[in-house]
Amino acid sequence: MDAVAQARAWLAQDPDPVTRRELEELVRAAEAGEDTASAELAARFGGRLAFGTAGLRGRLGAGPLRMNRVLVAQAAAGFAAYLSEHVDGVPTVVIGYDGRRNSEVFARDSAELFAGAGLKAVLLPRLLPTPVLAFAVRHLGANAGVMVTASHNPPDDNGYKVYLGGADEGAQIVSPADREIAAHIQRIADERPVPGLPRSGAYEIADESIVAAYEIATAAVAPAPASADGMRWAYTAMHGVGWETLSAILDRAGYPAPALVEAQIAPDGAFPTVAFPNPEEPGAMDLAFETAAASDAEFVLANDPDADRLAVGIPTADGWRRLTGNEIGLLLGLRAARAAAGEPGASLACSLVSSPGLGAIAERYGLGFHTTLTGFKWISRAPGLVYGFEEALGYLVNPGTVRDKDGISAAVAVLGLAAEARGRGTTIAGLLDELTAEIGHDASGQVSLRVDDVGVIARIMAGLRAEPPRAFGGVDVARTEDLLHPADGGPAGDILRYALADGSRVIVRPSGTEPKLKAYLDVRGETADDAASRLVALDAAVRDVLDRAGS
């Protein structure tokens, strides 16, 4: 079936007047011989968004390679079939949504379809952070959860993130659940047009007490000490949903209110002040730094749009800088290690692309340590976990409450660290110096290659496998690991890991959520300046290797 015929079949089941008009115009243009329209139809109907361990994520628009009400309806019906097959009795599923375009529409569609399939569906009372949904799955003893969000992706994206309760304790899905759910979704798409899927308005709206329970539990992460009085800080929600929940927690925990980045504090799915609503992206925190400077803040905190990530900025002699995810992750790891020292079976965990410094902290405090594949679906499952992090600004500081990264509880933990440091006459920068004194001079960096054509990423990865690099700059590669075929038989991933002769490390992988290729760099030096210079040299060498692999 050609793309025009596929588009007409899609139109017959699309309940959304916006995407119907969009697609009708494309079909008319394609039938009139417009090459651009034909190419656009081919791009939308040349496959289907894959349902994997990150659920669904993609650009909004009509067609199976976009996020829309047809695709979400098929996903909800397929997930309902999976739950009915795996749960004794009536499954319960909780649905949450953030402030992105169509998030509430997708969430209500899902609630109606779950209820129509005979499940007990519970819709959260309003737009809320992703961590509240992850909390609600455990708090309600639900069998599953769905969060409609694209997290920190570009403004035109949305997504569908899936959690499992029971033995999974409210963590994101992993294999084989992802494959089984995907098979049910495909079966629904092949056999049942969306208008024929049963719907019901008999779903519940969750009580506000669920949100209050999350706030109480999160405020307990680090109640404000006396030294927090008068603490000056700034905050941005990055046009997301974090502030309403965080502000209530600040009141409960006793922290002073921050100076707000007013232009970014209210949810706005258009994200008008940032090109990419991701605190990691260049320029994304500029307004936050301006607000912090104008208010004489001691530091700045930023959540991403669904508030499952946290960024921290500190003043320097040259202005402001955002701490790396590894710097924050190690500070919070040291905090957790000190609290858990002597606790039998307690462990720290991070993804394999995150700083190896967490292992040094675990060893110093007699704790277990685990490295996992990227993603909190893996980190959250580490045995004995008391703390986990990923360098992409994700931190799990309260695994007994939320089994996923949580930018709000991490913000409370950082506030506690900053207040404690303040009471000793130091700062977050001073805490970093103390960390170095404990574990040595580590430096981490990242080379991030954003592409329009994801085929470029595949070509680079294939090139690296066909001709493995023997050196990065003047430093030989001592060992290469291809985790597509892990030697230990563990979970596989499209990841290449290089151990260099000087103790440095390079890891290359495609992003799981964005059209990016990422290379993660870790070095150790005799001094801070030595580590920094090694990192600069390795960065240049990695860029050269990637360029040659893709040519």
> Could you tell me if 399 and 450 lie in one domain?
no
> Could you tell me if 122 and 195 lie in one domain?
yes
Question: What distance in Å separates the CA atoms of residue 520 and residue 379, rounded to the nearest whole number?
Answer: 18
Q: Mean pLDDT of all residues in the chain?
A: 95
Question: What distance in Å separates the CA atoms of residue 59 and residue 62, rounded to the nearest whole number?
Answer: 9
Mean pLDDT throughout 122-128?
Answer: 98
The domain in which residue 357 lies consists of 209-439
pLDDT range class, residue 489, cuts 50, 70, 90: low
CATH label of the domain that carries residue 184? 3.40.120.10
pLDDT at 371: 94
> Could you tell me if 195 and 229 lie in one domain?
no
pLDDT at 452: 82
| 303: enclosing H helix or E strand | strand 299-303
Task: Tell me the C-alpha to C-alpha distance, in Å, between residue 234 and each of 126, 242, 293.
Answer: 25, 14, 9
> Could you tell me if 243 and 369 lie in one domain?
yes
Domain-terminating residue out of 411, 439, 467: 439
Coil/strand/helix, residue 512: coil
CB neighbour burial string for 272-299, b if at least 16 within 10 angstroms, e if fewer? ebbebbbbbeeebbebbbebbeeeebbb
pLDDT at 490: 67
pLDDT range class, residue 486, cuts 50, 70, 90: confident
pLDDT range class, residue 261, cuts 50, 70, 90: very high
Lowest-confidence range among 71-75, 219-223, 249-253, 438-442?
A: 438-442
> Could you tell me if 448 and 319 lie in one domain?
no
Question: What distance in Å separates the CA atoms of residue 93 and residue 141, rounded to the nearest whole number?
Answer: 10
295 catalytic, yes or no? no
pLDDT tens by residue, 147-176: 999 999 999 999 999 999 999 999 999 989
pLDDT tens by residue, 420-449: 999 999 999 999 999 999 999 989 999 998
Question: What distance in Å separates the CA atoms of residue 395 and residue 388, rounded to the nearest whole number?
Answer: 6
> Could you tell me if 266 and 397 lie in one domain?
yes
> Could you tell me if 222 and 203 lie in one domain?
no
Residue corresponding to tokens 């992460």: 221
**What's the predicted TM-score (pTM) here?**
0.93
Which pairing describes strands 144-148 and 157-164: parallel, antiparallel, or unpaired? antiparallel
354 pLDDT higher than 80: yes
Domain-terminating residue out of 207, 228, 250: 207
Task: Tell me the C-alpha to C-alpha distance, in Å, between residue 319 and each of 180, 292, 429.
Answer: 51, 10, 14
> Could you tell me if 189 and 291 lie in one domain?
no
pLDDT range class, residue 453, cuts 50, 70, 90: confident
Q: Are 248 and 132 in contact (CB under 8 A)?
A: no
> Could you tell me if 203 and 235 lie in one domain?
no
Mean pLDDT throughout 99-112?
Answer: 98
pLDDT at 488: 67
> Could you tell me if 421 and 448 lie in one domain?
no
Q: Which of 38, 103, 110, 151 is catalytic?
A: 151
CA contacts within 13 A on the Cβ side of 501: 8
Q: Residue 333 is encoded by which pair of tokens? A: 């790891």
Question: What distance in Å separates the CA atoms of residue 454 and residue 348, rounded to the nearest whole number?
Answer: 34
Domain-terminating residue out of 439, 473, 501: 439
Mean pLDDT throughout 243-268?
Answer: 98
Tell which wins on pLDDT, 487 or 87: 87
- Bridge partners (DSSP) of residue 510 are 517
> Could you tell me if 284 and 364 lie in one domain?
yes
pLDDT at 1: 63
pLDDT at 485: 81
Mean pLDDT throughout 259-284?
Answer: 96
Question: What distance in Å separates the CA atoms of residue 254 and residue 248, rounded to the nearest whole number?
Answer: 10
| 42: enclosing H helix or E strand | helix 35-45
- Dihedral, CA atoms, 328, 334, 337, 341, nearest 10 degrees? -170
The total of structural domains in the chain comes to 4
Mean pLDDT throughout 406-430?
Answer: 98
Q: Are 292 and 259 in contact (CB under 8 A)?
A: yes
pLDDT at 394: 97
> Could you tell me if 375 and 240 lie in one domain?
yes
What one-character DSSP code corresponds to residue 191? H
